[in-house]
Structure 1
Amino acid sequence: MHYVDGLECSEFDREVFTELRDGGLSCVTVTCGYWGDALESMDSLAAWRELERENADLIGIARTAADIGRIAAEGRTAILLGFQNSAFLAGRIRFVELFADLGVRVGQLTYNIQNDIGASCYDDPDSGLTRFGREVVAEMNRVGMAIDLSHVGNRTSLEAIEHSAVPVAITHANAASLVPHARNKPDDVLTELAARGGMLGVSGYRNISGPYAESIDAWAEMVAKTVELIGLDHVGIGTDLGRKVTFEHLQWMRQGRWSMRPQYGAGSATNPGKQPPLPWFPDTTAFPAKAEALRRYGFDDQSVSAVMGGNWMRFYTEVLPKPGNQQLEEE
């Protein structure tokens, strides 16, 4: 069985990589940046190459689904490099291919404010996918970079799903019909996502999970209700885990350089700080306990395997480049 985490925003070091291994993680998508321009984003990617060299016994950077399988078979955790915004493109359509060549495999179209691709989940009104956004979606499809809609506005999300030639992902969010929150997704977005083969990474992050974060069995109930809503094949895990993230990191995530006023992201003025770790999921060493919770709730072994990582693996096989960068070779 593969354990896959669709998105983490941790500050990674050897201790965290060891936790990934102790939890049996086959693959994790990491957050390489939020607001950094192209140069800052390249610097982040270079730092990840250094992390890989220094921790090669624990991790390996994956570019294909085959890489994920190989790295996991070697007893290591495959790392998918991703960004939680499209700032790394700096408004340049040709940078999609350049960053794909550097190993970027997941790109979130917007973060917490509108950009030149579309609206965020906090923008009202949401004016939808821009002309540049449509070109970015097509180019991400061509080079095998998975599209992430986690912080993206609802109209922009629907239009991105429509314009994408391959399935897209919401790597870390929940159903708004279960937990009303701007960061969560309404049923029409989720059903369209599933209808086109996409994936939702169910999160346990306190601010967007409400009562379902109170215990691991409550989280399993949320997974089950999500399966009822969009089907087993489209549900995975996206913890949004922030190991070693400080309040200063959190301020940068929420505010970047675009605001001089306090920004709360998924929090609020009455709940502004970093959320304490979940007692039942302090770090990824607790990943196997999620499988057990799903079994207790009534999921059979095949369904547990699908949610814990099998569905993500199928998605990556369909969306990421084939060995030899087949998508580009066919152009």
Structure 2
Amino acid sequence: MLEPAKRYTGYTAYDYLEAGKDYKEFAYAQQIGRVAPYAGLDLSDSQKERTTRLLREEIVISLHDHVQVFPQDMTQLRDHIRQGREPTGYEGLSRSGMTAVFDNGMDGTCCISSDAGWKYQDVLFDLGVRMADLAHQDFVVKAETLKDIYRAHETGRVAHVFALEAATMIENEVDRLDVLYGFGVRQIGIAYSEANMLGSGLKERGDGGLTYFGEKAVERMNKLGLAIDISHSGDRTALDVVKHSTKPVFITHCGSRTVWPINRMKPDDVIKACAERGGVLGLEAAPHTTLSHAHPAHSLESVMDHFVHCVDLIGIDHVTFGPDTLFGDHVGLHDAFAANLSTKEAHGAVQFPKVEYVDGLENPAECFFNIIGWLVKHDYSDDEIRKVVGGNTIRVLEEVWV
């Protein structure tokens, strides 16, 4: 983990408002030091120096994260979410080394008006409030173009890209994609775990593939310049999206079902199809997802088992990282919203040891130091590291974004 970025002035979320008067105040989780630092790398001094140099000098992009801070007391989670004021973790981001982060919010659990989540008005409220907060500081900046990412890199800022894990909230209104784009959303998923008007999610018993409306939506996404994500889509739906899209697509946060055989992972044929059309896979690290038989207790090492397999499968030009982390008790979030997040269906009957957090990839502040440190320790070249921590994502965005 790095020292705080020089551009960071200490701003905390919604500083321009009065806590207790303008919004309900909660005690939030620590952004730094909530759990013990990762002890598994054991880098030499020269390896630490190289890791720090790469993290500071290169464009580092998280293809999928949730950079909000969650309450210390997770029994307060629903009350916190219902007020629709998710706090961005500015302090943690200042020490992350990331140039840009695709922040996917929490719209599957956005229960402002309904416990089911994904309601259009709730999503717009969530986006608007987050954007209002970003506008009151000058370190984490809203990013809508590659120029914004390059400018953040040049000026020591963090580029924040608004993204959504599913298009469920558009219902059967394709023009809502234009509205979301106008709000600043630049990446969107097809379906989460549950099927929607576009196609099937990964939890469903059967997968009918991309619907006719889904084809229409994909066409509109291509025209708008919205990057498409198929991480939570069913296998057939995912393949249909890859085939129907005129632009490369992302699997922003996932792993290989060959390495760990659960529904939440993608089969190798889907991963290969995505890569063959120019797309990129981001390696997932949310608790109890990217496990491996060699490392069944979730850690950096189990995630990197998926990385090695996917690099062998599709080549280093098509792999990056979408850690899917947050500031707070991620396991507690999964427990509180198990139905919304389809945790039972995602894992099926596969047995695994439950962990309190993913060791080495617990939050956005530490992820990329440890990822790059692992790559340095395992003798990847600077050019290879540049590709997998940002370059591959930029290549796709050059084709997709307008």
Unpaired runs of 5+ in structure 2? 1-57, 70-85, 109-116
Greater helix percent: which structure? Answer: 1
Aligned to 2:357: 277
* 112-121 or 17-26, larger mean C-alpha shift: 17-26
The answer as to whether partners of 1:112 and 1:254 remain within 8 angstroms in 2 is no
Aligned to 2:255: 174
2:199 pairs with 1:99 = no
Q: CA deviation at 1:51?
A: 2.1
Aligned to 1:324: none
Distance 1:133 1:244 in 2: 35
Alpha-carbon distance change, 187 to 268 in structure 1, aligned in 2, over 3 angstroms: closer
- What letter matches 1:234 in structure 2? H
> Equivalent residue of 2:204, what SS?
coil
> Equivalent residue of 1:182, what SS?
coil
Aligned to 2:100: 27
Show the 5 A alignment for 1:312-323: 312-321=393-402
Alpha-carbon distance change, 254 to 109 in structure 1, aligned in 2, over 3 angstroms: farther
The answer as to whether partners of 2:262 and 2:347 remain within 8 angstroms in 1 is no
Alpha-carbon distance change, 235 to 112 in structure 1, aligned in 2, over 3 angstroms: same
> Equivalent residue of 1:264, what SS?
helix
1:147 aligned to 228, 232, 248, which one?
A: 228
Show the 5 A alignment for 1:1-331: 1-12=58-69, 16-32=89-105, 33-34=107-108, 35-54=117-136, 56-211=137-292, 212=295, 214-244=298-328, 249-250=333-334, 254-256=338-340, 264=344, 266=346, 276-286=356-366, 287-321=368-402
Unpaired runs of 5+ in structure 1? 322-331
- Residues 254-277 of structure 1, C-alpha deviations (whole Å, 9 max, x = no match): 434xx9xx9635457998999522
- Residues 18-75 of structure 1, C-alpha deviations (whole Å, 9 max, x = no match): 2222121011111231232221111011111122023x23201111111111123221
- What letter matches 1:9 in structure 2? H
The answer as to whether partners of 1:64 and 1:317 remain within 8 angstroms in 2 is no
Distance 1:204 1:143 in 2: 30
Distance 2:138 2:248 in 1: 33
- Residues 112-168 of structure 1, C-alpha deviations (whole Å, 9 max, x = no match): 111111111111210100000000000000001111101100000000000000000
Distance 2:323 2:194 in 1: 22
> Equivalent residue of 1:285, what SS?
coil
Q: CA deviation at 1:218?
A: 4.6
- What letter matches 2:214 in structure 1? G
Question: Aligned residues: percent identity?
Answer: 26
> Equivalent residue of 2:160, what SS?
strand
What TM-score does the superposition give when structure 1 sets the normalisation length? 0.87
The answer as to whether partners of 1:247 and 1:273 remain within 8 angstroms in 2 is no
> Equivalent residue of 2:359, what SS?
coil
Alpha-carbon distance change, 70 to 200 in structure 1, aligned in 2, over 3 angstroms: same
Aligned to 1:328: none
Distance 1:223 1:14 in 2: 31
Aligned residues: 316
Alpha-carbon distance change, 273 to 83 in structure 1, aligned in 2, over 3 angstroms: farther
Q: CA deviation at 1:10?
A: 4.2
Alpha-carbon distance change, 270 to 157 in structure 1, aligned in 2, over 3 angstroms: closer
- What letter matches 2:131 in structure 1? R
Distance 2:246 2:270 in 1: 17
RMSD: 2.6
The answer as to whether partners of 1:246 and 1:274 remain within 8 angstroms in 2 is no
Distance 2:388 2:168 in 1: 31
Q: CA deviation at 1:314?
A: 1.7
- Residues 161-205 of structure 1, C-alpha deviations (whole Å, 9 max, x = no match): 000000000100001111111011111101110000001001223
Structure having the higher Rg? 2
Distance 1:247 1:179 in 2: 19
Aligned to 2:54: none
Distance 1:252 1:162 in 2: 36
